[in-house]
Amino acid sequence: MYQPLPLSTPGRNLIRLTLIRGIAWTGFLMAVIIGTEVLKIHLLAVPLILVIIVMAGLNMLTWWRLGLPYRVTDSEYLFHLLADIIGLSLFFYYSGGANNPFISYFLVPLTISAATLPWIFTWIIAAAILSSYTFLMQFYIVVPELTHVGAGINLHLLGMWLNFLLSTGLITTFVFKMAHTLRHREKMLGDVREKVLRDEQILAVATQAAGTAHELGTPLSTLAVMLKDLSREYPDDLMLQDDLALMRQQVDRCKAKLQLLTQQAEIDKITCIPICHFITPIIDDWKVLRPSIKFSLDCPAIEPMPLIESDKTLEQALLNLLNNAADASPDKVDITVRWHGAECILRIRDYGPGIDPDVASQLGETFVSTKEEGMGIGLFLTHATINRFKGTVRLYNMKSADTALGQASNKEGGTLTEVTLPLLKHLPEHLTEHLPPLK
């Protein structure tokens, strides 16, 4: 049964080393054939062909091994490079030793080792190459055409040029890809470390939230009882009754939120919902919380409307962003919703003092706040929630954002919050080409 090639970094580099080996030894085979048959160079063709066959067999064995479900280690990768050095040493021994113009090809495995292997393994490769080169300076089968002062000089220079061409091509193409694979792995490891740290922070916040929710139940119940008692004791004080009614409403809302938090901890279902059907209830809840806010909502009611994935945590994340905008600019907030291709874009524009660029750049990395007395937990959890849905959230100071978005500079300032969420299904162009432009 076919097994996929391994995806570990040494495994990918071994694949490329196998390709390099195939290209290089094919070139050596052609050099032997052309040298003996066309240029009439006195080469020992039989041992040279045998060395090439052995290396070809090693390449086929390596390719078969890559199909096995076993991880390629750095030690195994080192073994393959040493095998290449032994093969090259034998090849050069039967073809002029250090006088062979292809002798500098030894630098290719050394370059590969320096780009992909640990420091100690690279020194092992360097020691093996230096030992081999030194040996080949004294012990080798003489090829008269490569040592003769006359026409042999031209052949030697031609061979050096061909070797330089081959080495340059292999190093530029394959060694770059190997080093790029290592850099990509380091980036992935860094991203994983950041995600683990962020998840630990989220878990700590969630644990504290659960404990706080449990502890708040008792004082809220006490307040509810006291409010009822006060209402019965002063039935004739109408102004006090209005205040008590408002306080009971707020206490009941807090208790309802705590109950909802407990229910969501048990079951948090992800649903598929049209974009505007998702945004509208959030705006309705926001209007209840912030009745004095003045805002504009632009969400085109165009059918068929694309779907996104949602749950209560995503609703709360967007509600946090709306509250931040309301705190900064209670008199005017613009909300715009658009979708294009595979993305939905939600922009929340306030006209407050604007966000500090340093705070915007740290969004999601730590607890940073846009408010003087804020703790930054809201933005941190909002960023983590939207990332969980494979979306992004970015905050811009509007004066600098206008330039970044290709618009004229806006003197009103403020903060632009841009949320991008993936659509469940890629939309054809004709369903988005008639949408109004994004504000």
Higher-confidence residue of 11 and 177: namely: 11
The pLDDT value given to residue 110: 83
Report how far apart, in Å, the C-alpha atoms of 410 and of each of 157, 398, 402, 415, 439 are. Answer: 67, 7, 7, 11, 13
How far apart (Å, rounded) are the C-alpha atoms in residues 76 and 89? Answer: 20
The pLDDT value given to residue 81: 93
Angle, CA 309 vertex, CA 306 and CA 311 arms, to 5°: 135
* Of 30, 33, 20, 314, the residue nearest 169 (C-alpha): 20
Report how far apart, in Å, the C-alpha atoms of 301 and of each of 283, 298, 313, 392, 425 are. Answer: 15, 9, 25, 24, 18
Report how far apart, in Å, the C-alpha atoms of 421 and of each of 230, 281, 309, 339, 426 are. Answer: 49, 18, 9, 9, 12
The mean pLDDT of 129-154, rounded to a whole number, is 74
The mean pLDDT of 172-183, rounded to a whole number, is 67
Which residues are CB-contacts of 427 (< 8 A; sequence separation ≥ 6)?
A: 306, 339, 340, 341, 342
The pLDDT value given to residue 175: 65
CA 141 to chain CA centroid, Å, is 54
pLDDT for 296-347, tens place per residue?
Answer: 888 887 777 888 888 877 888 888 889 888 888 888 899 999 888 788 899 9
Report the percentage of the chain scoring pLDDT > 90: 16
pTM of the model: 0.46
The secondary structure of 182-213 as a DSSP string is HHHHHHHHHHHHHHHHHHHHHHHHHHHHHHHH
Q: Does residue 3 carry a pLDDT above 70?
A: no
How far apart (Å, rounded) are the C-alpha atoms in residues 316 and 33? Answer: 73
pLDDT for 378-395, tens place per residue?
Answer: 677 787 788 888 888 888
pLDDT for 192-211, tens place per residue?
Answer: 676 666 666 665 566 566 55
Higher-confidence residue of 124 and 7: namely: 124
Higher-confidence residue of 437 and 229: namely: 229
DSSP state of 352: S
What's the topology of domain 271-431? Heat Shock Protein 90 (3.30.565)
How far apart (Å, rounded) are the C-alpha atoms in residues 411 and 180? Answer: 44
pLDDT band at 173 (very low <50, low <70, confident <90, very high): low
* Of 297, 299, 321, 298, the residue nearest 308 (C-alpha): 299
Report the percentage of the chain scoring pLDDT > 70: 69
Higher-confidence residue of 118 and 358: namely: 118
The pLDDT value given to residue 152: 42
The mean pLDDT of 146-156, rounded to a whole number, is 53
pLDDT for 244-288, tens place per residue?
Answer: 888 888 888 787 777 766 655 544 567 788 888 888 888 888 887
* DSSP bridge partners of 338: 345
pLDDT band at 375 (very low <50, low <70, confident <90, very high): very low
The pLDDT value given to residue 408: 46
Domains of the chain, by residue range, sit at 9-194, 202-266, 271-431
The pLDDT value given to residue 172: 59
The pLDDT value given to residue 6: 41
The pLDDT value given to residue 28: 92
3-class DSSP assignment, residue 267: coil
pLDDT band at 82 (very low <50, low <70, confident <90, very high): very high
The pLDDT value given to residue 202: 62
Contact 125, 137 (CB under 8 A): no
Averaged confidence pLDDT in the chain = 77
Contact 28, 91 (CB under 8 A): yes
Q: Does residue 104 carry a pLDDT above 80?
A: yes
Q: CA dihedral in degrees (123, 127, 129, 131; nearest 10)?
A: 180
Higher-confidence residue of 63 and 412: namely: 63
The pLDDT value given to residue 10: 74
Angle, CA 246 vertex, CA 282 and CA 372 arms, to 5°: 60
The pLDDT value given to residue 136: 87
pLDDT band at 90 (very low <50, low <70, confident <90, very high): very high
The pLDDT value given to residue 433: 46
66's enclosing H/E stretch is helix 45-66
